[in-house]
Structure 1
Amino acid sequence: MQSRLPLPETDVPIRRVLLSGASGLVGGAVLSRLLAPGEPCTIVAPTRAPLAVSSPRLHNPIYDASTAERRSDSGLRRSLAGLKVDTWVCALGSTMAKAGNQAAFAAVDRDLVLKFAAVARALGARHAILVSSVGASAKSSSFYLRVKAEAERGLAEQNFPRVDILRPGLLLGERGERRRAEGIAQTLAPFYNPLLVGPLSRFRAIDAGRVADAVMALVRAGGSGWYVHEFSAMSRLARGG
């Protein structure tokens, strides 16, 4: 239970963070930053398989619900029963190639995201930080981007006092899985990024670590409202500005 997690010795208020997608590229980078020495937080990170990292401040419940439970959030709620959180960070994401079909993709990038949102709100979270995608739009011709937009729109129904949506372009970094198309795009990114200027700059590739740095700046933020952060805004946040 999170209430039993040892808290860092600090005069700064302790943040209790629920992290979805901790085993992914951005989620893993966020987790490493949350676990940094002196960072005043405890972390709950549900995953399908145990994480390779451990810490007295990290609670890693295994969420491996049955097919029937996946149609609702009952299994997820059971795995997090009794916990309280302040902030929810969501870095869940798949690809059409990995999912295999549109229904399976939407089940993760929209449905599971919104199940986590509902559970996070029920656990007391007042701040939601969602890693989405540049170009997310209900009017997009891309199924991928329409699903991302549907997840963003569904998040609004949970009434978090503060919502921050990050919309990165191609994510740069070493993944545990091979994605050939992304690998080629990452190789080309240093050449095409400088060509994307003005309104097109939001489509620039960005290092997953910089996205994680931006997330951390937002985790520390207060206030209320609905905010969308694209390349330039994420870069400023990552620099501490």
Structure 2
Amino acid sequence: MKRLLLAGATGLVGQAVLKAYDEGQFHVTTVGRRATGQVSNEVLTDFLSAPDLPAANVAVCALGTTIAAAGSKKAFRAVDYDAVVRFAQAAMAASVDHFILVSSVGSNPQAGVFYARVKGEVERDLATIGFRRLDIAQPGLLLGNRLESRPVETLMRRTDPLTRLFLKGPLDRYAGIEVTTLGAALLALCGQQEDGTYRHENRALHKLADLKPT
């Protein structure tokens, strides 16, 4: 049975992973500021430093926020960069050799848009930590019911069926993707064995979601 560390388990993506995983295949430990009450092992941390984590095979990082929700660019970076890197460092110390990050389409460390730039910077810097395998999921707009209000995302979700009519070919990476599909794809990635760094956009994530985790 694989031992899985899951950061950001109380969020939209983390909840999708918890609802989809097979208890016969994964022993899950959640890592975050709040307990989920859904698994027996939960590590509570504020990510101000790298937490002490139990030994595991693979780590999934679903940490993330928005500038609006965080309240400032500095607070956003504290979650989407600082907390992610500290979780990755803690996972490496816990013998994890396979790390999976939920990032975003359009991430680029040279981007003019702050959100995309921070996402790109954390992707770049995770690659230097030394994981045997690093998977970076770069989904488009996540479709699912969030607990907190995000007016812009709500509008985009409502218009997604119309928008996707125009997002064909290479542009389909910007289309919406159901969070349940992303959760299934992340679990499928946990079973991938090849070494290296891999990036997965919408089309690849849909294909992964059809695979059974091993």
Normalising by the smaller structure, the TM-score range is: over 0.9
User: Following the alignment from structure 1 to structure 2, what is the Cα–Cα distance between the partners of residues 194 and 225?
Assistant: 34
Q: CA deviation at 1:146?
A: 0.3
Matches within 5 A, 1:1-241: 14-34=1-21, 36-38=22-24, 40-54=25-39, 58-64=40-46, 70=48, 72-73=49-50, 76-77=51-52, 80=53, 83-240=54-211
Q: CA deviation at 1:37?
A: 4.6
TM-score, normalising length: structure 1: 0.84
User: Once superposed, what is the RMSD of the aligned Cα atoms?
Assistant: 1.4
Gapped runs of 5+ residues in structure 1? 1-13
> Is the radius of gyration larger for structure 1 or structure 2?
1
Q: Give identity over the alignment, percent.
A: 41
Deviating beyond 6 angstroms after TM superposition, the runs of 4 or more aligned structure 1 residues are none
- Residue deviations 1:104-154 (CA, integer Å, cap 9, x gap): 100100110000000101100010110000000012111000000011011
Q: CA deviation at 1:52?
A: 3.7
Give the letter aligned to residue 51 of structure 1: T
User: Following the alignment from structure 2 to structure 1, what is the Cα–Cα distance between the partners of residues 149 and 87?
Assistant: 27
- CA spacing shift, 1:103–1:227, aligned 2, 3 Å: same
TM-score, normalising length: structure 2: 0.95
Q: CA deviation at 1:50?
A: 2.0
User: Following the alignment from structure 2 to structure 1, what is the Cα–Cα distance between the partners of residues 46 and 72?
Assistant: 21
User: Following the alignment from structure 1 to structure 2, what is the Cα–Cα distance between the partners of residues 64 and 96?
Assistant: 18
User: Following the alignment from structure 2 to structure 1, what is the Cα–Cα distance between the partners of residues 173 and 46?
Assistant: 36
User: Following the alignment from structure 1 to structure 2, what is the Cα–Cα distance between the partners of residues 154 and 37?
Assistant: 32
The aligned length equals 212
* Residue of structure 2 equivalent to 1:4: none
Matched residue SS, 2:44: coil
* Residue of structure 2 equivalent to 1:9: none
